[in-house]
A = this chain, B = another copy of it.
């Protein structure tokens, strides 16, 4: 029959968005795919009020696992979330039952993508997850298809809209992290439990997927170095600005001969870098291919409609019968590369010390740098208050992280340094 029968598990924000998009553009998707996208069944904790009318005729399952077993369903759309539990069970069972799966679940793919891919291969079905990375931006299929002729050198970007929103607001208003976070929570841009976002885990899930796809390596979430944005202060943003930089939480992955680099942390990047101007909840990804050079993608990284756009894009691919290998290569060809240790990073650093404003502090600090052979590029000292504390900002020339860390722990010990120093890596993407 000229119809693709779809089962949807989860009718939260994204699930409702997918239902609405499929119903709104049914003719358009039929024209483009040659098949009618038909929502054959749904399963959720409860039916959202606003969908009860349009889904009145649709089969309802209390248990999402029934979607995997229903003979009337060709494709299962997993929008429950979570790396374990019912989401994982549903995806596994669906693949085993010979159904293609579309999911937006980055945690699931980051943790279990390799095994799920093997299941999909064995049962000769599709496993697609464009929505799991950078929402509406078609970055996964660009790496896998449009840019497939290239060997990739590096992929990096702004992968978490909540963090980008918070950092942009801090820059615009001069207000501090916690006050912007509370505001973001009340506006719905941040979760009640914000840790997944602000501590970098969400970006790290996405980065490990990008990394595996770009370099043909095993998914290795535990190999991602992760540092969030809680320690960024608005004074860091001001100093960054003065130095010609802005601060972004980036995910960066890079491949050398024998190792792979995977890291998520706040970065100072030049104001002139294309992604430096990507503000608010937007995401941006830069792919560097050996032939195409740098390609920059910007767009909505989350939200109901952009995420639905990505999920339904995958469904149309399945309807067209033209899906490509999810990670570009079959699982049998995945390479196992070691993760490069963070201590091997080579680059520049920004250090913020809060010190007693007394003579000799800078000399003491400079001695530490000199003894560890780390060369200082800039020193900024603002405000004088002998009775109080002031920030002392230093940036370094390129050095290796292990030397920098020695400097850092020695600075922490200095008597005049009154609180734990902060360190932000300066990334040069020229």
Contact = CB atoms under 8 A, between A and B. Distances in A.
Interface stretch (A65-73, A223-231, A286-294, A410-418): A286-294
A182 interface: no
B313 A147 contact: yes
A53 B50 CA distance: 67
Contacts of A150: 25, 309
Task: Name which of A138, A141, A293 has the most chain B CB atoms within 10 A of its CB.
Answer: A138
B328 A305 contact: no
Nearest to A304: B291
A296 interface: yes
Contact of A145 (B149, B297, B305, B313): B313
A423 B142 CA distance: 39
A248 interface: no
A312 interface: yes
Contacts of A405: none
Interface stretch (A170-178, A195-203, A238-246, A317-325): A317-325
A78 interface: no
A384 to B, nearest CB: 37
Interface in A316-341: 316-317, 320, 322-325, 328-330, 333
Interface stretch (A28-36, A83-91, A106-114, A260-268): A28-36
Given A291-B306, A291-B309, A309-B291, A146 B151 contact: no
Interface string A185-208: 000000000000000000000000
Contacts of A315: 149
A312 B289 CA distance: 13
Task: Name which of A17, A147, A333 has the most chain B CB atoms within 10 A of its CB.
Answer: A147
A311 B386 CA distance: 66
A323 B322 contact: yes
B306 A31 contact: no
Given A292-B300, A296-B297, A148 B305 contact: no
Interface in A29-72: 29, 31-34
Given A29-B149, A136-B293, 5 more contacts: A17-B291, A137-B295, A148-B313, A295-B297, A295-B300
30 contacts: A21-B149, A29-B148, A32-B325, A32-B329, A136-B292, A136-B295, A138-B142, A138-B145, A138-B295, A142-B142, A145-B145, A148-B317, A149-B310, A149-B312, A149-B313, A149-B315, A150-B309, A289-B309, A291-B305, A291-B308, A292-B299, A292-B300, A292-B309, A293-B305, A294-B299, A295-B297, A296-B297, A298-B298, A322-B322, A322-B324
Interface of A: 17, 21, 25, 28-29, 31-34, 130, 136-138, 141-142, 145-151, 216, 274, 277-278, 289, 291-300, 303, 305-306, 308-313, 315-317, 320, 322-325, 328-330, 333
